[in-house]
Each structure stands twice: as C-alpha cells, then as structure tokens.
Structure 1
C-alpha cells in the first residue's frame, strides 16, 4: 500500500510540475495585460520544435550531453522572447482598447496562423529527441523505475516559481508590474511606461511557454497540433487557480496532478474527465478561482 501511494505521488507531482510550467506564462500575461492568450499553445509548440532542432544539431556534432540542457533552456527562452514581443508590438498593441472578447478572438486567429507557420518551417512529420530524457538515468520507487528527467522537470518548475515570486515581490520591476495589474490608467499617469511593461511581460510569458515546450519535447513526440491540448489544460489550471494568480496556478496544478494520478492508478476510465471535473467543482464554490486577485471597485 505504501509503495502504491508513493507511485501515485510521484506520478502526480511529475504531472503537476508539467502543468505548472505549461500554465504559468498564461497566468502572468493575463495578470498584467488582462489578455487570455490562446496563442500560448503555439509558443509552447514553438519551444518544442526549436528544442528538436537544437538537439538534432547537438547530437549531429557530438557535443557534450550534459550541456544539452543548457542549450534547451537558452534556445527556448530566446525563441519565445524574440517572437513574443514582435507579436505584441505589431499586432496586440493596437487592440488593447477593444473588448476582451475581441482580443480573445484575435489571439485565437493568431494561434491558427502560428500553427500553420510551424508546419511550413518544420513540416508535418514528428520529431523525436530522447537523448536528454535518457542521459540522466533512472531511480526506483516501490519496484517501479522512473527517469531522473522527472526530477529535472520538478526542479525547473520550482525554480521558475521561486524566481517569479522573487521578481514580483522583491524587485522594482515587480512592483511596477503589481502597480499595472491593479490600475493601468493610474500607473500611466504616475509616469510608468505601461507599453514597455506590456511588451516585456508578453515576451516573458511566451518565453515561459517555450521553455515548457522545450523540456517536454524529450518526453514525447513533437508533432503539429501539440499546442491544442496544452492551451486547453493551461486554461483549466489558470481558471481553477484564479486568473492572474501565481500561487493559485501552483496549487491548482498540484491538486489536478495528484487527482489525475490517483484516477490513472485506481479509476483509469475517468482520466479524461478528472481535470475538468476538478475545475467545475472549484468554480461551483469559488467562481473566481482558488486565489482570485482582488479588484478595486470604481465608483
């Protein structure tokens, strides 16, 4: 029984780490810009494809395997942080005065366009990069063998959470972000360059999506359409935790990951529904999510 519980916890924590990495960029962008970025899934896929290309070249030139993780990290961040600000500057910056539903539709259209762009660049054949996944070896719990790559994903999720919390709570840039989150107009009147904050926030959010895609790529096949499932699951996590709330996303990811692992081990036929069941249950009692941000009432 103890071994079985340990296996459930390992599976749940591993999936929770992935959910957090996949969703944290989405909640950051919404918290600052009040945009539900449907194109988030395309930036996740972009990170995965860039990782596949980088690892292909890495293996072809017989470069040190240990440094491949650094290459994945840097390439994914650069890809997201280059493409994201370009999208914000040339498309989204002209839409902020429009209704939120209109911006949602624009990001959905952008998602469709980017999906086709990815197909034009990388084609429709799947890519497989197993080297980073296999290089770290395995560990055993309860007679079951698990890849140490799970620990890398968990450490990355924890590191991302700590860094974002530190930036938001302890740095001047974080204080500016919090100011813009609470009142965009007053922040602009006080001399804060809201436009600059927006482009940096969108770039960081897209870079985080690319980072999640890059480190997920060694665990699965990189194929067209992989961003669709990600945006659906990310949205479920963000809504459950509270739109724009970093602690909310972390808690929602942990709850959903462990509940899903329990279902896979004991009630596998419910695995497809469990995440959305958790979301529905939470929203039934807390319609704004577990940690919804307080909003000032304007009179």
Structure 2
C-alpha cells in the first residue's frame, strides 16, 4: 500500500510538469500542424531565466513569496519574445512549404537556441531552491512530500480546466476549434487564421517556458535539460494523439505513472519503459489514444 501511494503521488508530480510542456506542444501542432522541436529550448530558457532571476530576487531582499509571481512573469515574457521571433520572424515565411522542411527549421532553431543558452549561461549548473523550500512539507503516512510539488499538480489541473473552458465556453475558443478542425474552411468564413497562428504559438511557447520556470526550483538547471524534456513531451503527444488536449492529459499521466512505477519497482528499466509504452500504443493506435477528428474532404 505504501509503495502504491508513493507511485501514485510521484507519478502525478511527474505528470504535472510534463503536461505543462506537452500542452504547449500539442496546441501548436493542433492549430498550426507544426511539430515544434524548438519547444525543448523554450523549457530550457524558462528554467535558466527563472533560476537566474530567483537568485537575484532573494539576494536583493525582496518579499520571498513574490518569487512565485516572478516565475510566471518570466514565462509570459519569454513566451511573447519567442512567439514574435520564431513565428512572426521565421515560421510565417514557411507556411505552405513541405512539413518536413518546417520540422527541419524548428530543429535548426532548437540547435541555435541551445547554443545561445551556452553563450549566455555557460556550462555551469544553476540552483534556485528557495521557492521549493518556502512552502514546507506534508506527510502521507511515513512519506514526506513538498507542498511545492503538490502545488504543481494543482497548477496542471487548473491549466487543463482553463484550456477546456477557453475552447468550449468562449467565442474565441470556438473559433480556434474551427481553425483546428479545418484551416481552409475557417479562412473562407473570414477567420483571421494567421492571427490565431501567432497567438497560439505565443501561448504554446509560454507554456513551455512556464514548465521550465516552475521546475527550476526542483532541479539542477544544466545544459541538456531541453533535450530530455522534448523527448518526453514527444512521447506524451504520440501516446495521447497529436493535437489532442485530452491526449496530452492522458499521455502525461501514462508517462508520469509509468516512470514512477519503474523507479520504485524496477529502476533499471526506467529509461526503457516510456518507449515500450509508446511502442505498444503505436502498434494498436498509430495516431494515438485520442485521435484528433479530421475534416471530411469532398
């Protein structure tokens, strides 16, 4: 029972931050049909910028709890910057070209952004543990967990609910669903598709940066974290279904719980178990568990 509880809680914590990153990735693909490899660099930039800013914040003697608002501000600021630089400045020129070319463009952007990270922050690891310790701990039987970790679960649930409400209960959200369903038809009905592309990319980039920003207090922020997270995010969207919000939720839960179970029960297969799950899903459901409905062409 104790092990099952530990697997459940650890899996939910793991799934929460992965969902933040995968949600941005699947939103961009669902709307723009772009497999954005550079999304991993958004996460890395969010983590590095957050770690740097948190260190400055606490060294300057500002109110401790203001550091949480600082992380969100950093994610939003970086999301807007990356949205304008990559979507408006680069990807907008690639629309209409072969999908493989666009993927290569995002991969090249990823490589360049990784070099920019090294240029700015170097190869040293950064630590920003202060916000993590601020919220204290909670006990489940003999298990102790940080309230910061549980807050990440709450953040993921809030974003999932907010995304659902935005898409299904607002006029702008329904227009976005129309763009997702059929871009050409949406444009024919007068929807400014290019504007929705830009806004979606900014939101997706912000979510990727937010995933890195909130994870900075939990991890050692070091070169390579963007590569690791983009692989996991791709696994999530492949398992759940490219472009599906529900797929991102279920995929994150599957990956998070699978990793937690492997760590507790069979640590030596922890790296393998995610790809095993992804392979099984692709064998029986090649387009993922929640296949996005396609418009019927006449």
Smaller-chain TM-score bracket: over 0.9
Query: Which residue of the partner structure matches residue 281 of structure 2?
Result: 282
5 Å-filtered alignment, 1:62-77, equals: 62-77=61-76
Deviates more, 1:45-54 or 1:103-112: 45-54
Task: Let me know the Cα RMSD of the aligned residues.
Answer: 1.1
Partner Cα separation in structure 1 for residue 72 and residue 151 of structure 2: 12
CA-CA distance at 1:190 after TM superposition: 1.3
* Contact 1:22-1:212 within 8 A present in 2 as well: yes
Query: Which residue of the partner structure matches residue 121 of structure 1?
Result: 120
TM-score under structure 1 length normalisation = 0.97
Query: 3-state DSSP class of the match of 2:71?
Result: helix
CA-CA distance at 1:123 after TM superposition: 2.0
5 Å-filtered alignment, 1:19-30, equals: 19-30=18-29
Query: Which residue of the partner structure matches residue 90 of structure 1?
Result: 89
Query: Which residue of the partner structure matches residue 52 of structure 1?
Result: 51
CA-CA distance at 1:104 after TM superposition: 0.5
Query: 3-state DSSP class of the match of 1:145?
Result: strand
CA-CA distance at 1:144 after TM superposition: 2.2
Q: Deviations over 1:182-236 (max 9, x none)?
A: 1111211211111110000000000000000000111111112210011111000
Query: Which residue of the partner structure matches residue 36 of structure 2?
Result: 37
**Number of positions where the alignment pairs a residue of Structure 1 with one of Structure 2:** 298
* Contact 2:18-2:211 within 8 A present in 1 as well: no
Query: 3-state DSSP class of the match of 2:271?
Result: coil
Query: Which residue of the partner structure matches residue 139 of structure 2?
Result: 140
5 Å-filtered alignment, 1:93-172, equals: 93-172=92-171
Query: Which residue of the partner structure matches residue 270 of structure 2?
Result: 271
* Contact 1:33-1:198 within 8 A present in 2 as well: yes
| 1:238 and 2:219 correspond | no
CA-CA distance at 1:88 after TM superposition: 0.4
TM-score under structure 2 length normalisation = 0.97
Partner Cα separation in structure 2 for residue 238 and residue 85 of structure 1: 24
Partner Cα separation in structure 1 for residue 267 and residue 290 of structure 2: 30
Query: Which residue of the partner structure matches residue 217 of structure 1?
Result: 216
CA-CA distance at 1:6 after TM superposition: 0.9
Query: Which residue of the partner structure matches residue 181 of structure 2?
Result: 182
Q: Could you list the runs of 5+ residues in structure 2 that have no partner in the other structure?
A: none
Partner Cα separation in structure 2 for residue 84 and residue 222 of structure 1: 23
Partner Cα separation in structure 1 for residue 60 and residue 124 of structure 2: 23
Deviates more, 1:47-56 or 1:234-243: 47-56
| 1:295 and 2:294 correspond | yes
CA-CA distance at 1:74 after TM superposition: 1.5
Query: Which residue of the partner structure matches residue 251 of structure 2?
Result: 252
Partner Cα separation in structure 2 for residue 204 and residue 280 of structure 1: 30
Deviates more, 1:27-36 or 1:133-142: 133-142
